[in-house]
Amino acid sequence: MIFLYRFLTFLLFPIFIIILYFRSLSGKEDKLRFLEKISVRKNSSLDQKKVFWIHAASIGETNSVLPLIREIIKKDNKISVLLTTTTYSSSQLINKTKFNRNNFQHRFLTLDIKFLVKKFLDHWQPEIAMFVDSEVWPNYLIELSNRKTPLILLNGRITMKTLNRWKKLPNLSRKLFNLYDLCLPSSKESEKNLKQLGAKNVKYLGNLKFCSDNKFKDDRDDLKKIFKESFIWCAASTHPGEEEIIFDTHMNLKKGGVKVITIIIPRHISRSQEILKRVKSLELNGKIINYFNEISNENEILIINTIGEMTKYFYNCKSIFMGKSFSQKLISVGGQNPIEPAKCGCKIYHGPFVSNFKEIYEFLNHKQIAKEVINSDNLTKNLLEDYNDKSSDLDKKIIKELDEYGKEILSLTLKEIFKLKKC
For residues 340 and 42, which has the higher predicted lDDT (pLDDT)? 340
Check the CA dihedral 77-56-309-30 and report its sign: positive
User: Which pLDDT score, from 0 to 100, does residue 218 have?
Assistant: 56
CA-to-CA distance for 41 and 375, rounded, in angstroms? 52
Residue 237, by phi and psi: left (phi above 0), alpha (psi -120 to 50) or beta?
A: left
194 touches 188 (CB < 8 A):
no
Check the CA dihedral 355-406-412-156 and report its sign: positive
Domains 23-37+47-208+406-422 and 217-402 alike in fold: yes
Least confident of 66-70, 114-118, 313-317: 313-317
Q: Radius of gyration of the chain from Cα atoms?
A: 22
CA-to-CA distance for 41 and 120, rounded, in angstroms? 10
User: Which pLDDT score, from 0 to 100, does residue 77 have?
Assistant: 84
* 145 has a pLDDT exceeding 80: yes
The full set of domain ranges for the chain reads: 23-37+47-208+406-422, 217-402
User: Which pLDDT score, from 0 to 100, does residue 99 have?
Assistant: 80
Q: Which of 98, 31, 59 is nearest to 269 (CA)?
A: 59
User: End-to-end alpha-carbon separation of the chain, Å?
Assistant: 31
Which pLDDT band, with edges at 50, 70 and 90, does 97 fall under? confident
Tell me the average pLDDT across 63-91.
92
Angle between helices 242-255 and 376-388 (to 10 degrees): 50
**Which 3 state secondary structure label does DSSP give 3?**
helix
Q: Which CATH number fits domain 217-402: 3.40.50.300, 1.10.3720.10, 3.90.550.10, 3.40.50.2000?
A: 3.40.50.2000
Number of helical H runs and strand E runs in the chain: 17, 13
CA dihedral 220, 225, 226, 231 (to 10 degrees): 70
302 touches 222 (CB < 8 A):
no
User: Which pLDDT score, from 0 to 100, does residue 216 have?
Assistant: 55
User: Which pLDDT score, from 0 to 100, does residue 335 have?
Assistant: 86
User: Which pLDDT score, from 0 to 100, does residue 98 have?
Assistant: 77
CA-to-CA distance for 321 and 347, rounded, in angstroms? 9
* 185 has a pLDDT exceeding 70: yes
Which pLDDT band, with edges at 50, 70 and 90, does 398 fall under? confident
User: Which pLDDT score, from 0 to 100, does residue 116 have?
Assistant: 96
CA dihedral 330, 331, 332, 335 (to 10 degrees): 70
Percent of the chain residues topping a pLDDT of 90: 62
Q: Which CATH architecture has domain 23-37+47-208+406-422?
A: 3-Layer(aba) Sandwich (3.40)
CA-to-CA distance for 130 and 357, rounded, in angstroms? 22
For residues 139 and 308, which has the higher predicted lDDT (pLDDT)? 139
User: Which pLDDT score, from 0 to 100, does residue 225 have?
Assistant: 82
Q: Which of 131, 62, 46, 47 is nearest to 417 (CA)?
A: 131
pLDDT in tens, 200-247: 999 999 999 998 776 655 555 688 788 888 999 999 999 998 999 999
Q: DSSP letters of 281-348?
A: HTT--EEEESSGGG--TT-SEEEE--SS-HHHHHTT-SEEEE-SSS-GGGTTT-----HHHHHTT-EE
pLDDT in tens, 274-298: 999 999 999 999 999 988 778 888 8
User: Which pLDDT score, from 0 to 100, does residue 93 have?
Assistant: 81
pLDDT in tens, 355-388: 888 889 999 998 889 999 999 999 999 999 999 8
> Taking all residues of the chain, what is their mean pLDDT, rounded to a whole number?
89
Q: What amino acid occupies position 192?
A: K
User: Which pLDDT score, from 0 to 100, does residue 214 have?
Assistant: 65
User: Which pLDDT score, from 0 to 100, does residue 3 have?
Assistant: 86
User: Which pLDDT score, from 0 to 100, does residue 108 have?
Assistant: 95
190 touches 158 (CB < 8 A):
yes
* 40 has a pLDDT exceeding 90: no
- Which residues lie closer than 8 Å to 183 by C-beta, 6 or more apart? 152, 153, 156, 177, 194, 199, 200, 201, 202, 203
DSSP 202: B
Least confident of 116-120, 276-280, 387-391: 387-391
Q: Which of 304, 296, 302 is nearest to 270 (CA)?
A: 304
Residue 257, by phi and psi: left (phi above 0), alpha (psi -120 to 50) or beta?
A: left
